[in-house]
Structure 1
């Protein structure tokens, strides 16, 4: 049985980790959810979609695609909106990280790959989601993935990752100024040490950077709770913000 819906949310990078937790939380809140990740993760996405229906009774739609490719992002947004009946929330969560490497040895191809997904991908999601929301004239919520490394360049040997996450903060602020007149808020979240496969890679290579005031990592659901609030009607007067969820690694 499909439950009554609050609207439609599209979550990128939703096959696992933070993205999956966000999708499940938004479904729990009452949103129909469109789930995006790479084509290679289609089976994982389909498993998440089944879980959304089974646990929360919300409609779900799988839209694989590469967020760094504009044509694919455009098609992703259009198909999600057409299939589920609109677009109220865009969560540009997809992101990658490279193994640690000194800036003196950092390969330009790795630099371009990180910026292509983490910055360009978020920009394309913001662009096409805002176009769809403006055309529907019902406002909306756009939410992006920054990082603790987007507030301080605190990850030694991750120059491209830090740069990409700072870029998300600037993009979020600029987009917020522009889109407010359309009733669209634009915010981001800045995770610190969250228990995901990406963290394990970072932690194993650079463990001293991951200490928190609680002595343990956060969980993907800790990020999902912030996204839930930013996607809600109660957050209508919050825009242009990048909210830290970092367990006290540092304070804003």
Structure 2
């Protein structure tokens, strides 16, 4: 993976919005039904560059740089999914959007879920990709690796696309070690959103790679909380989950390339364009 594979070729309109105590950067692409697009940890909206043409074919995509990521400078608060979700909700209000779809990957998937939990009236359809709802679902060896993410790891990350991107676009490139400290602290927090997921009412698509950070069974568990995978769907689809929820386990992918896969774009657009 190189930095260039993360770069969008489409022309974008980049702007800042003063919302919820943060100067939030976002880029707007295309026209049509609005889609809020949320990137993964240590990335930015540019992560989706390879699939933006597919996403923007008939959708307006608003790619947000979350707190401390991309062109959004960090502020004096922890990297908390709930606070970042409130940022996104405030941006939705700032832009005057009515129930946009919210699509997020990894960190962005967790934030997207929190937007849906905390501000359900602001979300049309929800796509949560590679987003785990319990910390203990993640493979133990990965949890061990996450425990090593801190400012001390900055030197070892200088050859990664995440570091290159941050140095190129961040308002304060020297803050990269601080971002690693905050990411490490956030990943160390235990969480279990089982009950919150069970209460989701907007149509929700659960997406994962077949070799993701948690086993496919975890994402099937999430789907079951949404009334999925409990019975035959029926010839007319009347046995499908109540509420229009869906599940996609994408073949041949991992947590680290799903966000730029044409398969991810295809299932996302297909789900968002459904009428029921």
User: Which range, TM-score by smaller chain?
Assistant: 0.3 to 0.5
* Between structures 1 and 2, the one with greater strand share: 2
* Between structures 1 and 2, the one with greater helix share: 1
TM-score by structure 1 length?
0.45
